[in-house]
Every structure is written in structure tokens, then in C-alpha cells.
Amino acid sequence: MKLKFRMYSVVGMVGLSLGEQHFIQGGIAQDLRCDGRKRLTYRPIHVETGVIPQANGSARIRIGATEVIASVKAELGKPSLSQPDKGKVFIYIDCSSTAEPAFEGRGGEELSAELSTALHCCLLGAKSGAGAGIDRTSLVVEGKICWDLYIDGLVVSSDGNLLDALGAAIKAALSNTGIPSVKVTAGAASDEQPEVDISDEEFLQFDTSGVPVIITLTKVGREYIVDATPEEESQMSSAISISVNKKGHICGITKRGGAGLDPSVILDMVSVAQYVSGKLMNKLDSEIASAEAEDES
């Protein structure tokens, strides 16, 4: 019995006829997708950084027709009681109704929550902070003050593979982030709020060498594809999003989509993701570097 699940119900998309469905499935089985790509090839990726001047860091990424914008804002705050030596990072995703009419009002809420959770899991790592993509201990200014990073992602245009695009956009935005340096005036009593002097001039660049990329492998029939379009996503049985960092270590795995998967299949997908991540990481890094260079010039 064939189980077909949709990752999210995209109401605006016209349904596929049986012939089109077979065409997509057959093509993927023969390593030739509808737009001519191989199974493990990404669509062209364009990166622009510094698109939002008021934010500490921002980036806009286009993968094919999927377009997302990520912005990073840093505000001073107090570290939480349970983890006094770490700053806080909040990730919010908003699916704008310009992407899909179904996202208007509360329609996009479920998808936004799912994407936010997956990004949290992939980028922020465990509660103790070990193995996280973003090093939260670097956010602490001094004892009672830390930086709170608010990472906001906006889906402007949705054409499949939103999670990968958001992960890449957040990576680009973080490498564009400049955190102003802070001088804390000494001598304040331990209970009072210490005085801070936020400089407008000096900025510290955020260290993003540890930030992972997220790769979503969609299983269609017996094969896995990377960077699925909405038509391909409608034919999937399940998908796994794996985040891999520069050293090739897995930083997080989320399974998305309904059908069950054999454990050996999951391990196979993990190794495929590690293989693909090398190329994607290099491509992203070079694109981000050239975008930053353009930004400065």
C-alpha cells in the first residue's frame, strides 16, 4: 500500500494528474528530474548580505524560486538562571502571505512553528550548549549581561525546500552580523543594573565557522533527492533534514513527513547527506564571501 504524505498542505498548488505523478517518480528513479537536475544537485543559489540596514546582520537567499530573508538583531539582556554562562538565541520564522495565499493570517502558523523547531534543533544543539552551531558562551558580555540574539526568518517566496534555504540564510546573516562592543562601568553594586556603554563604532564579527548547513533529503520511491520542488515534495513518502557542520559531524536530525522509515534507510540517508554537505558548504561559503565583498565595495 502506497502511503503518500505532504509535508505541508499547499492549497494554492494545482493538483497533479496521475501521468504527471508517474513522470516525476519515474524521472527520479532514473536520476533525471523534471528540470534536468540530477538527484543530488541543488538549484542555483544566490546570496546577498546586508539587505536590512537596521539589523545587526541580514541576508537574502534565493534557491531557484524559493526566496527567504533572515535578519539577526542583538539586544542586551540578562542570562537565564539555569544557564548563567550563556547568551540566549531565539529563532522565529514567519511565512508571509506573499509566498502563498494560504499563509494569510493563521494559515502559515503551523508551518512556521515546524520550521522554527527544526532550525532550533539543528542550529542550537543540546541544552548544555555542547555541539551547538552557534557558540552561546561568546554572547556573554560580563557576569550579568549577555546578548540576546533574535534571528528572524521570512519566507518571501515558496518553491520547495524552505528549511535548507532558511538554514543557509541564517548562516549568511550570522556571518554578516556585527555585534557592537560593550564597555561595562565597574563598581556597580551586585544587585543593581550595571551601566553599559554600547559603542557605535567598533563591531565584533560573529564567528560562524561552526554554523552547520541543513540538507533535506526527500525520499521518493526508493531514491533520495535533494532540494525538492513542491511537485516533487507532493510525491514524497517522507523526508529527513540533517544538519552537518564543516567537520562533517552531524549536528541535528529531524524527520519530517509521515510514513515510517527503516533504520538502515535513515543511516544511508545520513551518509548521503554528509557527502552532499561538503559541496554545499563550499558553495555557500564562496557565495557568502563574494556577497560580503560586494557589500563592502
Partner 1 sequence: MASKAGMTPATYSPSPTTGKNKPPLFKEDSTRPDGRDFHQCRPAFLRTGAVNAASGSAYAEFGNTKVIVSVFGPRESKKAMMYSDTGRLNCNVSYTTFATPVRGEGSDHKEYSSMLHKALEGAIILESFPKTTVDVFALVLQSSGSDLPVVISCASLALADAGILMYDLVASVSVSCLGKNLVIDPISEEENSQDGSLMITCMPSRHEITQLTVTGECSTSKIKEGMQLCLDACAKLANVMRSCLKESSSDAHGLDNESS
Report yes or no: 176 and 292 within 8 Å, Cβ to Cβ: yes
Minimum CB distance to partner 1 smaller for 8 or for 147: 8
Minimum CB distance to partner 1 smaller for 58 or for 238: 238
Nearest-angstrom CA–CA distance, 9 and 275:
30
Nearest-angstrom CA–CA distance, 117 and 98:
22
Task: Give min distance, CB of 6 to partner 1, in A.
Answer: 11
Report yes or no: 295 and 178 within 8 Å, Cβ to Cβ: no
Give the contacts of 82 (CB within 8 A, at least 6 positions apart): none
Q: Does 254 bind partner 1 (CB under 8 A)?
A: yes
Q: Does 140 bind partner 1 (CB under 8 A)?
A: no
- List 95, 132, 139, 168, residue binding partner 1 (CB under 8 A): 132
Nearest-angstrom CA–CA distance, 276 and 19:
31
Pick out residues in 148-177 that bind partner 1 (CB under 8 A): none
Which triple of cell numbers denotes residue 268?
Answer: 544511508
Q: Which stretch binds partner 1 (CB under 8 A): 38-46, 54-62, 115-123, 140-148?
A: 115-123
- List 63, 119, 168, 251, residue binding partner 1 (CB under 8 A): 251
Task: Give min distance, CB of 49 to partner 1, in A.
Answer: 26
Q: Does 106 bind partner 1 (CB under 8 A)?
A: no
- List 10, 13, 76, 266, residue binding partner 1 (CB under 8 A): 266
Report yes or no: 167 and 227 within 8 Å, Cβ to Cβ: no
Q: Does 190 bind partner 1 (CB under 8 A)?
A: no
- List 79, 125, 167, 230, residue binding partner 1 (CB under 8 A): 125
Q: Tell me the three state secondary structure of residue 215.
A: strand
- List 131, 178, 180, 194, residue binding partner 1 (CB under 8 A): 131
Per-position DSSP letters for 76-143, written without gaps between them: EEPPPTT-TTS-EEEEEEEE-TTT-GGGTTTTTHHHHHHHHHHHHHHHH--TT-TT-SS-GGGGEEET
Nearest-angstrom CA–CA distance, 49 and 106:
30
Which triple of cell numbers denotes residue 247?
Answer: 567537520
- List 73, 88, 246, 255, residue binding partner 1 (CB under 8 A): 255
Q: Does 252 bind partner 1 (CB under 8 A)?
A: yes
Q: Does 270 bind partner 1 (CB under 8 A)?
A: yes
Q: Which residues bind partner 1 (CB under 8 A)?
A: 3, 5, 82, 110, 113-114, 116-117, 121-122, 124-128, 130-132, 238, 240, 245, 249-263, 266-267, 270-271, 274
